[in-house]
Amino acid sequence: MKQMKIDIWSDVRCPFCYIGKHKFEKALDEFPNKSEVEVVWHSFELDPNLQTDPDKNALDHLAESKGISRSQAEAMTQHAVHAAQDVGLKLNFNKAVVANSFQAHQLIQLAKTKNLGNKAEEALFNAHFSEGRNIDDKKELLQIGVAIGIGEKETEEALGSDDFAYKVRQDEAEARSLGIRGVPYFVFNDKYAVSGAQPAEVFLGALKKSWGEFEKEHKLVQLSDGAACSVDGNCD
């Protein structure tokens, strides 16, 4: 049977994309037809013009960009920190390196061609928010690529590839055409959209509603019965 598709636009620099991913996965684990769902990740850059600064962390960058004190910046991140804790994640904004995410998206696009998109997303989120690694550093990205099962040479070629850069831009163009202005953004069966890191119950409800319609659309209508042989070897 054809799989029902869930499209997700996300940026690995977005804490609520990380949190939303885990809330969605909790709902998916509870969904009885999980094996018949295809999850497709899409690229979305929150700040395409961001300049990578490996000597600066996310809290200092937030304070500078907003013109506020570091303690105020830390207070602004507490909602995300607590929301992450609720799903078993730890966000270390004090360690998160200020890094442009374009190359990370190129790695995700490569991973998608090998059915490793979800592993790439998780690894990059963890690298950025938990381990404090520079997701715009080629050496780090090569290590992440190898860790999720992609060869180092192939990863290196993808990071310099116009084809994978085009795929990133293509995803972003599609997001604009859909009117997506923030992430995470989930589209169920090309029909229903859920924006933000919603509770797992919301995602589960969207899965069930979408599946009910998807199943009707793809269910075969049998017009008549005739003589046939069954899988147990009986012919009548």
Question: Is 226 a residue whose pLDDT tops 90?
Answer: no
In tens, the pLDDT along 62-88 reads 999 999 999 999 999 999 999 999 999
Buried b or exposed e, range 49-84, using 16+ CB within 10 angstroms: ebebeeeebbbbbbbeeeeeeeeebbeebeebeebb
Q: So what's the pLDDT on residue 64?
A: 96
pLDDT at 232 exceeding the cut of 80: no
Choose among 34, 42, 2, 10: nearest CA to 208. Answer: 34
- Percent above pLDDT 70 for the chain: 92
pLDDT tens readout for residues 107-133: 999 999 999 999 999 999 999 999 999
Q: HEC string of 43-105? A: ECCCCCCCCCEEEEEHHHHHHHHHCCCHHHHHHHHHHHHHHHHHCCCCCCCCCCEECCCHHHH
Contact (CB, 8 A) for 16 and 128: no
- Token readout for 141 is 């990205």
pLDDT at residue 236 in the model: 64
Task: Report the pLDDT value the prediction gives residue 230, as an integer from 0 to 100.
Answer: 64
pLDDT value for 217? 87
Distance CA 111, CA 40 (A): 11
Going by their DSSP bridges, the two strands 53-57 and 37-43 should be labelled as unpaired
Average pLDDT over residues 125-143: 98
Largest CA distance in the chain: 81
| Digit-coded pLDDT (tens) for 154-184 | 999 999 999 999 999 999 999 999 999 999 9
DSSP three-state, residue 6: strand
H-state helical runs in the chain? 15-30, 58-66, 70-86, 102-112, 117-125, 138-147, 152-159, 162-178, 200-218
The whole-number pLDDT of residue 192 equals 97
pLDDT at 231 over 70: no
Domains of the chain: 4-218 (3.40.30.10)
